[in-house]
Structure 1
Amino acid sequence: MSIKRLKQIAKHEAEHLFTVRPSAKPWHVSLSAALIIASTILIGALYHNLPMGILASLGAMIILNQPVAGSLRQRQGLLLLMGIIMVLSFSVGLIAHQVQLLKWPLFTLLCFIVVAIGRYMHLPPPGSMFVLMASVIAIFMPGGWEDMPGRISVVAAGALYAWVMSLFYNLAVVGVASEPAPSKHYYELGLITESLIVCFFVVLSLELALWLDMPYPYWVPVSCYIIMQGMQLRTMWIRQLHRVLGTGIGVFVAAFLLSFSWSNVGVALVIFCLLLWIETLVSRHYASAVIMITPLTIFIAEYGKSAAHTEVGAMAYQGIMQARFLDTLLGCVVALLGGVVMQSTWLRRPLMTLEAKVFQDKIRLQK
């Protein structure tokens, strides 16, 4: 590759890193999503059960997948599907925690399905990230079989609450007679190949975290997926560096926020602000949104534990920053390695060829 070509690539990537695109979302979409999710946490805080409110907010995260276009039926149908996937993902994670023999097969299968569905449905950022995060948190959630029905019910209630609030919002803003949008759900060559590669490296990141005996292994695959979810076979992996930068900066933002002693209501307000930031910027400048995705997930993980506010206050925030930074760093390294593999022709060509043969009828029909 010539020096001139390298300069062109560097210039293009720099422009991509600093370009702020116009938002496709009206301001009230971002505000309503942040309010709906944060309100579940606020309800838990007011009833002195913050962990339960945060658990319900996992289900309410489906509101982040609400389409900005389409008929009422399309919008509510997608959220209903995402709610079902969210509850199933969380449930499978709880089962994997109880049956150690099935932990890896279940998580691998679940990860592949979540990634493939996100790519098939062409979900915009954050995509299916929170669905995957719910399953990973469930895998490491302490408790027995007797705790599962209650926890699943709470997540399902959060998803149902988000769906109902979305229905009221869409009836008020969109209306029943809204025009349907062209379907974005379709197969394209490379979907299975990309999903397999992403799944492999997300699972690998979790395996490495456990092998290294990291205190918070669930954050490593989430960090890896945040970076890898936007990668395509046809794009340069260097373009994903802004995701790494955003994730790394987010660790220090989280450390700053954790240095304060927050009340239960304060935690709900902080999460609301983080969600509003993410929803406002995710379609305009993804790196800036990722900066706040990191502290958001850390707040959910830390304050979602039993008596979490006591634990966070007792543990020096510098220790949390160090642990989270190492988790994030490992996830980023594995994700960038996955980006290199995704661009490699020695693996891409045989997998794409095999996929084309298996799905040739599907490809022919779409043409």
Structure 2
Amino acid sequence: MAGPAGTSALRAMTGANIVLVAVVLAGHTALAPAAAFGGMTAVHARFAPYPVRARLLAAVGAGLVLCVALGSVVAAAGWGPVPVAVLVAVVAAVAKLLTDAVAAGPPGGLIFVFAVATTAVLPVSWSQAAVQTGVAALAAVVAWCVGMAGWLFFRKPHEKAPSWRESLLAAVRLPSHELPRAAKVGLGVLAAGLLAHFLHLGHPYWTMIAAAAVLQSTHLNHTVHRTVQRVLGTLVGVVLGGLLLAADLPTPAKLACIVVALLCGELTVIRNYALAMVFITPLTLLLSSLLTPPDAFGLASDRLLDTVLGALVGLAAALVRPGRGYSLAAA
């Protein structure tokens, strides 16, 4: 595990899980999603120089907290599936636009979609929405601190962050490569969400997340590869996740599996996306099982069906307007 990739994976595993493990062991499992999404700040800016990482992680953390807040407010207000799908699509488009503009790198805008789509369907009161937002903020701060801890020992005197001003202005100024890509992501996510709703799928937000995931790239061939890899990796992952759910593990064991799964996912995502999904899928299923007693077969089958549908919708959206160029901004 030596080298930059191993260091990055350990940093992500630590930063993403500190607050999550703390709130779950303290008995507040309802706060697990908020803690997880705030902590996912740590999986960004894997190899960026520290000055760039400091600003990028701060921006990502603020964005994830905002997404948790939006989702929590929508849930407390009792929005229906169609307005939620529209909101998630807008977030997906904006996240794609901004992460592409500043060259944020993997996982691109995906976690923002994950955060708002998940929290928007979890029933909460207004006071619980505020608490969720606070927990997400705490987790994001902890993740930022973990991500920047090495700066104390490996500071380079001449490092500095380049300005984002021009790239952001160029992204929203016609003609722009980023605007059509963002629109394609938004429309693909909206189509996936509406289709999942009208088909009465068990977890339609997973469909929107899958569509957003395969649309993070800007090259059609890359999108096709990601679609195939996501489906194949999820197929194996739901088998593994279903076995873990069926084992009815105690909460500390589930947390240990989540921590290890994130580490393995971070170690493999750059090299082999399908293998990373083998680990990320059980992680997602185990997180879901913390909230309600799981039906192992039902939860696993929902994950597979929703992922396949969302990935195919995302691929269809990519085929409508194939992008040019090549990007590694995939989840």
* TM-score between both structures, scaled by the size of structure 1: 0.77
Alpha-carbon offset, residue 113 of structure 1: 0.6
Partner residue in 1 for 2:133: 152
- Written as runs of structure 1 = structure 2, the 5 A alignment for 1:81-160 is 81-97=59-75, 98=77, 100=79, 103-160=84-141
Per the alignment, in what secondary structure is the counterpart of residue 125 of structure 1? coil
Per the alignment, in what secondary structure is the counterpart of residue 224 of structure 2? helix
Residues 87, 152 of structure 1: 8 Å contact kept: yes
Structure 2 distance, partners of 1:66, 1:283, is 13
Alpha-carbon offset, residue 261 of structure 1: 1.7
Q: Which amino acid aligns with 2:12?
A: A
Identity of aligned residues (%): 24
Structure 1 distance, partners of 2:286, 2:299, is 11
Q: Which amino acid aligns with 2:200?
A: D
Per the alignment, in what secondary structure is the counterpart of residue 284 of structure 1? coil
CA distances 1:44-92 after superposition (whole Å, capped 9, x unpaired): 233233332443121010110034132x332111111101111111212
Q: Does 2:271 align with 1:284?
A: yes
Query: Of 11, 25, 31, which residue of structure 2 is paired with 1:46?
Result: 25
Q: Does 2:55 align with 1:77?
A: yes
- Written as runs of structure 1 = structure 2, the 5 A alignment for 1:253-292 is 253-292=240-279
Larger Rg: 1
Q: Which amino acid aligns with 2:129?
A: M
Partner residue in 2 for 1:193: 180
Structure 2 distance, partners of 1:134, 1:32, is 20
Q: Which amino acid aligns with 1:274?
A: A
* TM-score between both structures, scaled by the size of structure 2: 0.85
Partner residue in 1 for 2:35: 56
CA RMSD of aligned residues (A): 2.6
User: 1:280–1:232: structure 2 CA closer, same or farther, 3 Å change rule?
Assistant: same
Structure 1 distance, partners of 2:158, 2:265, is 27
Per the alignment, in what secondary structure is the counterpart of residue 261 of structure 1? coil
Per the alignment, in what secondary structure is the counterpart of residue 247 of structure 2? coil
- Written as runs of structure 1 = structure 2, the 5 A alignment for 1:1-367 is 25-70=4-49, 72-97=50-75, 98=77, 100=79, 103-172=84-153, 174-175=154-155, 177=157, 179-180=159-160, 186=167, 187=170, 189-232=176-219, 235=221, 237-240=223-226, 241-303=228-290, 305=291, 308=292, 311-312=293-294, 315=295, 317-343=296-322
User: 1:236–1:89: structure 2 CA closer, same or farther, 3 Å change rule?
Assistant: closer
Number of residue-to-residue matches in the alignment: 312
Structure 2 distance, partners of 1:281, 1:321, is 22
Alpha-carbon offset, residue 237 of structure 1: 4.5
Structure 1 distance, partners of 2:152, 2:87, is 39
Structure 1 distance, partners of 2:245, 2:106, is 26
